[in-house]
Amino acid sequence: MNGRLEGKVAIVTGSTMGIGAAVARRFAREGARVVINSHVIDAAARALQEELGSARSLFVQADITDSAAVERLAGRALAHFGRIDILVNNAGVNVFADPLELDTEGWRRCLGLDLEGAWNACRAVLPAMLAQGGGSIVNIASVHGHKIIKGCFPYPVAKHGLIGLTRSLGVEYAARGIRVNSISPGLILTERIEAWLAGFPDPEAERRRQAALLPCGWIGEPDDVANAALFLASDEARFVNATDLLVDGGRSQVYHD
Q: pLDDT tens, 203-230? A: 999 999 999 999 999 999 999 999 999 9
Beta carbons of 35 and 57 less than 8 angstroms apart? yes
Q: Supply the mean pLDDT for the chain.
A: 96
* Strand order across the beta sheet in which 9-12 lies: 57-61, 33-38, 9-12, 86-89, 135-140, 178-185, 244-247
Mean pLDDT of 81-96: 96
Residue 48: its pLDDT value, please?
96
Does pLDDT of 256 surpass 90? Answer: no
Q: pLDDT tens, 33-42? A: 999 999 999 9
Return d(Cα 234, Cα 201) in angstroms, integer.
43
Mean pLDDT of 17-36: 98
Return d(Cα 224, Cα 147) in angstroms, integer.
20
Check if 155 is active-site.
Answer: yes
User: How many Å is the maximal CA-CA distance in the chain?
Assistant: 55
CA-wise closest residue to 19 among 162, 154, 186: 186
At 75, the pLDDT band (50, 70, 90 cuts) reads: very high
DSSP tally for the chain: helices H, then strands E: 9, 7
Alpha-carbon Rg for the chain, nearest whole angstrom, is 18
Residue 7 region by backbone torsions, left for phi larger than 0, else alpha for psi between -120 and 50, else beta: left
At 56, the pLDDT band (50, 70, 90 cuts) reads: very high
Task: Catalogue all structural domains in the chain, each as residue range(s) with its CATH number.
Answer: 9-188+221-253 (3.40.50.720)
Does pLDDT of 2 surpass 90? Answer: no
Q: pLDDT tens, 135-183? A: 999 999 999 999 999 999 999 999 999 999 999 999 999 999 999 999 9
At 257, the pLDDT band (50, 70, 90 cuts) reads: low
Return d(Cα 35, Cα 197) in angstroms, integer.
31
Q: Which of 88, 155, 157, 180 is catalytic?
A: 155
- Phi and psi at 110, nearest 5°, equal -65, -55
Mean pLDDT of 91-118: 96
Mean pLDDT of 235-242: 98
Residue 1: its pLDDT value, please?
57
Residue 255: its pLDDT value, please?
73
